[in-house]
Structure formats: structure tokens, C-alpha cells
Structure 1
Amino acid sequence: MHLLVYANKPQEHYTLSSILYLLFSITYVNVVDINDNVPHFPENLQYLNIAESTVPGGKFGFIGASDLDVGKNDVSSYKLSQNDYFSLEVHKGRDSVSAELVLQKALDRETQPTVNLTVTAVDSGNPPKSGTLQIIINVLDNNDNAPVFSSALYKTQIHENLPMGKTIIFLNATDADDGLNAETEYSFRSKGQDHVLNVFQIDSKTGAISIKEAVINDPLKLYRLEINIKDINDNAPVFSEKLQSLDVPENTLPGVKFGLIEASDLDVGKNGVNTYKLSNNDYFTLDIHKGEDNGGNPPKSGTSLIIISVMDTNDNHPVFSKSLYKIKIPENLSSGSTVITLNATDTDEGSNSEIEYSLRKKGQDHILDLFEINSKTGVISVKGKSVITLTLTAIDGGTPAKSGSMTIIVNVLDVNDNPPVFSQRLYKARVYENVKIGTPIITLNATDLDEGQNGKVIYSFSEVGQGKQTNSFVIDEKTGTVTNKRNIDYEESNAFELRVQASDGASSPLTSHAKLLIEVLDVNDNAPEISLTSLLNTVKEDASVETAIALVSIFDKDGGKNGMVTCKISNNVPFKLESNYKNSYSLVVDGPLDRETAPQYNISITATDEGSPPLSSTSVITVHVSDVNDNKPQFSESVINIYVKENSPVGAVIKKVTAADADIDQNSQVSYSFLQSSSDSVPFSTLLNINSETGDIISLHSFNYEELKTFQFKVQATDSGVPPSHAKLLVWVHCDSHPSGLKIGGICTTFVRIFYRNFKFECMPCCAERNYAFIVSQLVWAALLLRLRGSKLGNSCWKYCQGFTFKHTGFGDPYVQDCWRI
């Protein structure tokens, strides 16, 4: 630092040189800095926007800190708060320090939309000082999530005859992405759904499914809709396991193949898994099996770590630490004393490296009588005998010496120092269910090296951790044979895991354990069970084909083929079973129904399993057919004639008409009425009335032959169905002025029918005081009268009948059919 020092000493007289000296005297002073300032960031808070698709390794700068101090008291380093995603890379120059954030782990906006970091700037002062900067990282969304429906299966019921545009259900799919990436568009899968697309439509924005056609005439028909959401390649392939271990024997020949865990991709089509790649190595290559060549754009990838463990094969011999062992032992070494412990090693692994020691028998009988070796530890010890025979010799001191001898037998008593040993640590057995109680299942075997009671083996089930497993079995304590003590049911339990133990007969017994697994084999002892759920109490006789009537569920307690079931209708009815999914069916209409022919059906449904022999069960569901108004009322005749006497009293029932309807209930209730017509020449409603319920036709007026001889009207029969059906009847009313008729030969001839060749003639009502000619063809009647002339009946008919009607009939000569009085 350069300082100018000014002298202000008062003087009365100054020379030029003194003035210059005083005014411009300069001295140099070094000011030493102390650490009295903290590092300072221009801002306390900084925001960074980073896309979640950023690859780890990306670097991001932030505003740096400054320090008013200098030298080592200036900013010397930066530190970053603990977090899961970023590290700090510090760059130190000659006169400055800077830093960058480095992304270490892929970001996921859906898991953590923001990351809060604290950067600390530190100087090297004594003591050091620091300043902090808060960094908030906003993770920008990438379209890496597929839309997900709130339910994998939506179900709804709709009524028939719904109007076009009626909404029946709202679908809901959500996307974990944000903004435009989260906007979802709904559509139907077009392939194979033409029948659905004709009936329903879906709103691409709201997911609302509505009626496309004005009317649906298929009540309770089941529709299955498949909804598509268009896929983009926004998901990387994922392995179900990040780490896979393979065990490969070391003697495996080149060319042998090993299967790997497959990767899956939430995307579909070409965006699914396309190929695999293997990292560089000296031992393995990748054999890829490809179908159609696919590939997303841009492609995404996933990785899995494979650790290959080279499995050992028994290709190495055990090796002793020495080829020759030399030892010395005292002659009085007691039985069981250790002589030497041998040690051998095997460079193989696992069971291949387990070593079992033994003494070679050939040519070493004398050695085997003295020593024994522990097969596991390699310890050689002095052998103890159960019976030792000794010879004791007494020798005198004479010359020559004489001797005498005796035999000593030493019995070595057994000590319970060996537990029973099972021949296997794990026993497995199979037994069919429903075998007879007491059936032998398996015989266990354990041995004990001890003798007497110490070597006697007693078998039993272990009580520890068994629960109710042993309730089904019993073990013979002497033979080790396991039998069942109650019925074994596969459907109740298909396997048993038992712990068995073998104890010796000592007062303080030694025990060993083994495990017994019993697998129960299924037999076909359960018939299928049928469950029926009615959807309709009755079905209308005009129900369309495929109308659902009931749901049928089948269940078989057996397993395997014994539990595989087929279902069918065993009688001939207009219904069928449609499979929904495994062992679930819909009973639907398969043909026309007619209540008038068959008002109800007893449908026999039979379920049969695939066991040997197969078992089956049958269930009967009764379907009642309800009536629809498909039959009109029927009159027995289409035309009737009513003959009313002149001056008959008012209110008399002149005729009762009746119509029958094959329907039932209100569809068969018939009402009667007159059918008015503009062409009616006579206002008959003023002359007659009809009872709408009984069909009685009642006169409202006394008839006068001179005023009204004949007239016609129509009666209509209407049922009460919706819509109603009708039938019509033509009625002719004739006025009769002769109350008693005309007697001819004792026969009333008021009405006569005469047939001639292909013509039929009906004589209208006769009137004795009137003599009208017949209004018929003169040619025909000329022939008729020739045949009838001279007969009493013919003359009367000519005189009294006022007219004939002309109708076609068969061929033949004219004859009088009948003659009667009305």
C-alpha cells in the first residue's frame, strides 16, 4: 500500500527544499489482511430447471461467491449438502475457485418434482468463514409414464331402448406426467370390435361411453369393450432383477447355452424390447432369438448385472500335508488316546472338498486291531475292544526255568457315547388320498454304534413346531414305519412336512433328527359343483338371441386333470352356454321362444371333470317365459247373419259375439266395440249397442220391416296388450216380418238353400203377402224350375222367396239341401 504522509509542523519560515520535502515525503506501508469478511453470494436463492430425462454426468453451473478478503482469506472451496442426486465438482485456478453441480442419479419428476440443495462457500482463514446459497432444482417433466386406468375391468348394466347419446359409464385414466404429457385421449380398439363400435361411442377427452344407436333391442346382452391409449416410447426396458447369478460348472464345454432373465417394457409394439447386448468379456457371447424386427424411436435401454459363479467339479485329489508321518508312542498308551492328527486338503469346493479319512485294510489286519481313525477329523487313536483276552504267565528262577499261565478275559463295558444316525437327513414319500387307515407310507432307518440299550433305536415325531401336522400319522417306535391314522384328503392338505427323531434306549438318551416330506396325490373323489346366479326371473318370449339369462360358475375341489371341468346343457332347449372365462359361463337364449307352446323350460346343466373315471353333477334351472302380445283375438267366423223379428222389444240381446285370444293375462283380455265407417248407409249406433266386456249386441230400437229390411256393420275385438291387437267381424242384420214362418208339408220353409251345378242359391227370408220374382239369371233359373216344377217345395219357393244370393259351389244337378225356420 502506498501512503502519502503530510507534515503539518508549524514553521515561520520555509525554504523551497523544505516545503518540497514536507509535502512530498512518501513512505511504503504493508497492511496485513485479517479474515474479517465472510464469503458472499449475490443471491441467497437460485432456481435451476433440469429435465428428468437428463443423463447422469450432466453438469450445471450456479452463481459463485466472492470474499472482500484476499489471499487465503478469500473463497477457497465449495461444499454441497447431502442429497441423492448431485455431487460437486470444484475447479481451482491460480486466483479463483469455481464449482459445478454434477448429476449422479437419474431424476424422476413423478417421485420427486423438486430437489433442495445448499451450497457452502468456504475460505481458508483462521478461523475459516463461510456463506451459503440455497438452490431449488425444478425437475422438468418428460413423457415417461403411460396412462393408467383406475380399474382394469369396468362393469355396468344398461336398460334397453336407451336414447342415442345417453352416457352409460365414465372411464378414468391418469398419467403421472405433467402438462401436455399428462393429457389423455380415449378410444376404442377398432380391430375385432365392429359390433361394439356400432352400438357405443367414447368421448376422447372425458372417457364417457355413450349410446351410439337410438335403440338397443338386446336386453341384458353382455358387451366387452377394449379401450386403447396410444403408446409412445417413453419407457426403458426393465429387468425384473438387477442382479442375476449363474452357476456354471468349471468343466462345461464351449457352446453350452444358459438362459437369462428376460427384460420387459411397459411400451408395446415396436417400442417393446427389441434386442440385447452383452458387455465385452473373454468367456461368453450372446445368442439372441428375435421375431419381427422392432425398435422404438428414439431407442431406450435397461441393464442387468450377471454374475457367473464357476461351479466346482471333483477334478482334484486330496493331498496330505506330508507324504510320510513319523511318530513315537509310549507302550502304556490308554485306549482312546490320540496318537496323531492327520491333515489333508482338497482344492475343490463344497462337497467335492469334504474329506473322509480311513485306514487301508489290505495287509494291515494287525494294525486295524490296534488303531482306529475318525473319518471326519483324521484323528488316529488307540482302539478299544469290547472283549480283550490276555494270557498271564508265571516263570520260576530255576534252570531251566519253568512257567505256568492263565487266561484273563477283560469285558469292556459300553458307554452311551454315540447318538442314533438316520440314513438320510431328508426323506420323501408319496401317498394317494383316501388310502385305508394304517397304510404303510415309508420306513425310516437309523443306526446306533453303541450296544445294548445304548444302541436300541426308538422312533417318534418331534413335538417342536409340528402343530397339527402329526395328527394324521403315526410312527412305529421300533421299526420306524410311518402309517396314516386318519383319512388323508388332498383338498384339505396336499403336503405334510414332519420332523422325526431317533433316540437310543439309555437312561439319558441321545437323539438325532431328520425331516420327512409326504406329498399327497390327488384322486378324483370330488364331483364338480355348479353355482347358478339368475339374472332374470322370467324371459320374454320375444327375447333376442344372446340375451343373458343366468351366470353359471363351476368349481371342482380336485387338482390337475381331476379339477378340469367341461360344462354343457344336457337337454334340447333353445338355450346355450357361452364361456366367459375359466369355469364361468353365461346362459343365453339360442333360439326363438313361444310361451303359447312352452311356458317354461327346465334346463339341465351338466358339469363333467376329466378324471378317470370322470365325475359329473347336474343342476336344473327353471326359466319361465313371460307373455308378449303376439296373438290377435280370433272370431270363430268372419261373417255372421242376425235375423231380428219385426217389432221385437227394445233392450233385447239379439246376438252374443265371442273372440278368443291365445295370450294370457291382460294380453288376452278382449273388449268389443262397433267399428264406425264413413260408408255406413245406416246409423246403426242408434239402433244397437254392444257390451264391451261380454260381447252382447243389444237392440236400442224396435225394427220395422217396411222401413229397414237389412243392414250391416262391423264388430271389433281388441285385447289389452301394449300395443293392442285387433280382430274384425262383419255382421248382417235382417228384419223378419213373419214371426211363425210358412209350413210346407210339415216343414218350415222360411229359408231354403238350393244347389245347382257350380252355383249355390240362398233364398232370402220369405214373405207370404209379397210375390217378387227371383233376381237371378233367367237362364239358370229356367233350368232350375224345370227340375223343380210340379214339386210342392218348388212351387212354394217360387211363390214365397223374394230373392237369391249367388255363390260358387260344386258341380251336380240342382237339389234342395235343407229347409228350416229362423
Structure 2
Amino acid sequence: MVITPESRLGSQRLLLSLLFLVLWEAGSGQVHYSVPEEVKHGTFVGRIAQDLGLELAELVPRLFRVASKGRGDLLEVNLQNGILFVNSRIDREELCGRSAECSIHLEVVVERPLQVFHVEVEVTDINDNPPVFRVKEQRVLVYESRLPDSLFPLEGASDEDVGSNSVLTYKLSSSEYFTLAVKTNSDGNTQIGLVLRKSLDREETPEHALLLTATDGGKPELTGALQVLVTVLDVNDNAPSFPQSEYEVRIFENSDNGTVVIRLNASDADEGSNQEIFYSFNSLVPPVVIDQFSMDSNTGELTIRKTLDFEKVNSYKFRIDATDRGHPPMVGHCTVLVKVLDVNDNVPQISVTSLSLPVREDAPLGTAIALLSVSDRDAGSNGQVSCSLMPHRPFRLVSTFKNYYSLVLDSALDRESVSDYKLVVTARDGGSPSLSATASLSVEVADVNDNAPTFAQPEYTVFVKENNPPGCHIFTVWARDVDAQENARVSYSLVERRVGERALSSYVSVHAESGKVYALQPLDHEELELLQFQVSARDAGVPPLGSNVTLQVFVLDQNDNAPALLPSWAGGGGGRESEVVVSRSVDAGHVVAKVRAVDADSGYNAWLSYELQPAAGAERSPFRVGLYTGEISTTRALDEADAPRQRLLVLVKDHGEPALAATATVLLSLADGGQVPKSSLRASSGAAVAETALVDVNVYLIVAICAVSSLLVLTLLLYTALRCSAPPSEGACGPGKRVLLCSSAVGSWSYSQQRRQRVCSGEGPPKADLMAFSPSLPPCPVASDIGERQDLSDDHCGKVSEISCYVSSLF
């Protein structure tokens, strides 16, 4: 057998243990103490050294110590006085739980010699723990259909204390539905429960809150509480219900599809599936509602399916069902009234119900012309329509009834100013924004005969060459009538009067429709220089209206008359041949005779010139004739060589085109001074004096005519310039008729020398006895600007060429 070191060490330990056990048994003792739990630190427990028979002085030398099995820190010994005291908190329930006995076992060891003592310290219970329920809140589920006296067990409380400190009593808070039942079994356990006193109604009280109180038997008493919540379980004994039996909803007609009209929220006093509700239209709801709206069965949302139209349907009333999912299901009902609100989505409509056209221009004020009606399918202010009229005159709108208007005449009409009115009637509603519509009316104004025919000017001046062919068109009158149709159809006629011994109608005529004026016979300037008459223009209205115009027809002279020798153109007898006795002693320039002739024409046609025609085979005559005076005078002194009888042929010629002429033969008898008869001498002397005076007068007359002509031209030019630059004023002459004075290229004037005219030129007195030569001026107009014309180029009339004119006021 081999002995190892390890085996030797184990044997030694075993021997020591056996020795310790022997010594312990030899010196063991038992000491018992009691201390309440939860006492303070330092609380006196007992005099352990004295009770074990140990001297205080030997405690330290013998290594006195106390050991506790697992709880060595709860109690401690003061080695100075040998007292056992509480060192830390002692909790009986922590040490022993719910055991009826609870002690702390101490081992007291001293050495030299070794002694072991056993000390038991009993920990007594105090009521430091209240009754405790395992949970703070206990729920009890009870169907509302349970009958009274039904029992519902509850879990009781526990108390960690022991003895009387753990004896519990229970108490339930006051309740009309529940009471507390407590029962102690044979094994000492207590059972508690709730007893139903009367039937429950979950819809009335779905939950009952009760307070269960447990009280222990300690002094003082401690309590614990438990919140008991009794939940009443539902049975399907309630139908869904709505907060209101009828709902009224207002929604605009222009709301979009899908817009939520109303969200219904029915409630069911039940719970669970008994409370789950789905919504639907009632079976009696008409199809138009189902077609217009849709119902969400889960959410109760009523939405628009199709576009609303207030003008078609302005309200919907229907029933909605709310059904729960219980067994059997129960149904609740409500009525929904959807009122569609109008928006201004319809323009006004204008209708002309009556129209009386055309309107006479003499219609009295207030005459009704048209009846109009306006309408708007909208409602309220959106359907309130007001009308306006453009232009504002001469018509206006008068409201006769709601939405009915009359178009009446507000001011006088004048068809000649406006014959047709374009009216625009505007109808505007009261919406926001407002909508409007327009209607156009064309009002025609009917004519009445309220305007007489009018001529462009009150008087026309017409120039006609004499010797015109019969039926010659000399002028066209035209009158304007601003009326219409028959009222504007003008007919013309002469205003009959006497011209000398003859009727006017024997000279001229006028075409009733065209207004053309015709000369019925050749006119003779020498017989009739001016033909003045009136033409009447009359319309075809009822009654007819008319006006007159004056025509001044000047007969222009033509060279149709040859010069005529006066019967006594010389000192002696008449005829185309005259004899004069001339003394041979007369000096050069002596007037021996005078040829006198006249021309029935006028102007240039009557302006005569005298020429001495040379005799065939005769020597140069000692006599000459004045070109314009007709005076025959000597060119030199007479001598014996001159023939005793001189035959002079004088050609008298006018200035017309072609020129007409006449001849006069003058027989001159040359006599010696003593042979000249006294009568001849006297006549010759008187003639010479007269001739000398006449020559002087003629010279002065020609000079005066030239001066006056120049002055007239300057005056007329100045007058025309003043009239164009300033308004006319009445001068010394005053207003008068305008007379057109014209001359041909050769200077033939429309007035003869025998017709005296008063010509006013600017300031100053009138002039008389005017004779002028043709100036270089523009041609005379033959037609006015407004259509009146003088047709002098007619096939039956002679052509007046190169006519120059001046306009002047003649008095």
C-alpha cells in the first residue's frame, strides 16, 4: 500500500474535525431570546456573556465571536459589556415568510479552551403588512341577460403577517346591483364572490366599478383594496339609432361628382358584432335618388353620383336604413332631406312677345313699340333680372310687370335724321358674378310727309343764246325731298304768269318728272333780254308739300342785226346816200360830215367801226373817216386839183362774229368860199363845232370806259378776296340778287348799252352806265356743284364758247 501526500493531508483534516466535535459537545449550552421585528438599530436583545457564564475580561483574550447561519449581520455583541443588540433591520416576513415560528440561530465560539454555545433569538411578528390583493384591478364579465342571485367568484387578499395580524375581513362598496358573499371552507380557506341582486342593462350601465376592501386583525388595523370592474356583456337587444330622425343638408348644384353630401353616424347601444352597422337606401327609395346619390355601406357617407341641377330637381327626400350584424339583425331609420342650392349657371333669356314695326316718325311719345319678357331659370337673386337699353334715346324700357317690359318711344323721331335704329337690350341677373344676355332689335322708322322738296338755292341764273331752236333744253331743275317713297316723289310745274302780252307757258315748259326746262320758241335778245319765272316742285305725299325756285333766263345776244344808218346821219336828207357842200378853204382836220348808225344788237355785236372804202380808179382822197366816230374830216387843205365832186363810200361794220356791215355814200361838193351857201356854211360851221365837241366827248368816253373797266376788275377781285376771308357784311348797297355778267371772247356783253344796271363793289355808291371790255378771266361755270346745270350744248341749241363770268350783287 502506497501512502501519497494527498491521502496524508485528508487524514489530518478528518482527525481535526472529530476533535472539534468532541470539544463542542463537551462545552455546548442553550440561550433563548425574543425580539420584535422592525426594531431600531442598537435595540437591546440580552446580556449574552453573562447568560453564558463568561467573564467580560476574558471575552477578548479567548477570541469571543458570534456566528449566524446566513444572517450574521442582523445581531451583534458588544465585547465591552457582553450585550447582544440589533445591528440591522430585521424583517420577520423576509426571514421566515408565513411560518408560524421564526428564530435566528447564533453560534457563540470561544477558544482557549474551545467552547461553542447555541443561542436562539425568536423574532416576534408585528402588524407591519397590510392585506394585499394579487392584482390591483379585477375584471368580472357578466352578460346582461344573467338572472339575479348569480354568483361571480373573486380572488381574495393575502397578508404576510401571521396570527391575528393575518386574519382578514372583507367589505364591498355600496351597489344596487351587487352584494358580497364570503364563505369559509372546512380547511380554513375563505372564498368571496359577487352576487347579482337585479338584472343588468349594458346599454344603461355598461360597466360597474366596485371597491373591495380587506382589513386584517392587527392593532392597528391595516387594509388593502381591490378595484372590481364588472363589465356587462352585450346581447343584441338594441336596434341602431341615429342622433336625429331627419337630416337637412344643403349643397350647391355645381358640386363635383364624389362630393360628400353628409356622413351619417348611427349608433347601436349594443357592442361587438351587435354594434357593427352597415348603411343602405330604404327599399322604398325611388330610383332617381339611387341614380343621383351613392351610399357607402361602411362609413355612412352619402356622395354625389351625377351632377345636380337645381333647375330640374331642387330637393331630394329619402330614407336611410342602418342595420347591425347581430342575430337577428336590427334596423334603424332616418330621413335625409337634400336641398340643392342654386348657383348662377343660367343666363337670362329675352323673348320679344310683340313687335309693332315700322314706327311712324310722327308717333306720339309713349307709343309702345315692342313687348319683351325676360326669364332666368335660377332662383333668388340669381334669377332676378334687370334690363337696360342701348342707346338710351329715343326709346326706353318700361317695366310693366315682373320680368315684363315695354319698349316705348321716349323722344321725337325724325326719319330723315335716323331711319333705322339698332337697339340692344341687355338682361343681367343679380348673381355674383352676374350673367347677362343681349337681344338686338331693329326698329324701322316709317316716313310721313313732313318735308317739302327743297332746291339747292332759291334762284338760278341761266344763259341762253337767242335764236335757239324750238324745244331746246335750257336748264334742269332738281329739288330734293328727304322723305321716302311717295313722299319723296317730286313733280315739277311752271308757276304761270304773264310775260308782256303773252303767257309764260308760250315761252318755256318744264318736264313734270325730270325737271328739264325747255324753250318752246326761239328767243330774241332784242325783244326779251331777261325771262324770269318760277318752277314749282311738289311731292306726292298726302297732303302734298311744295316749294318754288326762281329762274332768271338771260337771252344772250347774237350778231343777227346789221348796223342801220340813222335817217339823219348827215346834215341833210336821209337814206344811205347824202350830199354835203364843203368849202375849199377849210383846213386839214376839218369835219365836213358825220355818218351815224346804230345796231340793234348789244355789246361787241353793237360796237360799230367806220372805214372809208377807196373808190376804184380814184386818186388818194383828201378825206378820212373816224374809226369809231364816223366823222368825215379833211386830211389836208383842199386845192384846185381836187375834183369838185368827191364820192366817199363809208363801210359801217359791227364787231360780231361774223361781222355784219352796212354802207353809206357821202357826196362831197367842193365849192369856193364865196359859193358856199350860207345854210351850208352855217351847217358846216355848226357841224364842225358839234363834230369837234363830239370828238372830244368820244375820246373822253373811251378813256372813262377803260378806267371804269380797270376799276371794276380790281374792285371785283378785291371783293372776292374779302368775301372768302371774312363773313359777308351789309355795305352801302346791302344784300341783293347775284347776277352773272358774262362776256364772250370778242367782248359781247349780256346787257346792251341801253340797259342800266347798278353794280355795287365794296364800299361806296353804286355805279351806273357800265361798259367794259372782256378781261382775261376763267370760263364761266355752266353747272352748279349740287347738280343743277345749264345745258347749252344741246343739239337744238347754239354753243356758247369761252364764257367768262363775274359774280356781283346788282341792285
For the superposition of Structure 1 and Structure 2, which TM-score range results when normalised by the shorter chain?
0.3 to 0.5
TM-score (norm. length: structure 1):
0.44
Q: Which has the higher contact order (CA 8 A, sep 6+)?
A: 2
TM-score (norm. length: structure 2):
0.44
* Greater helix fraction, Structure 1 or Structure 2: 2
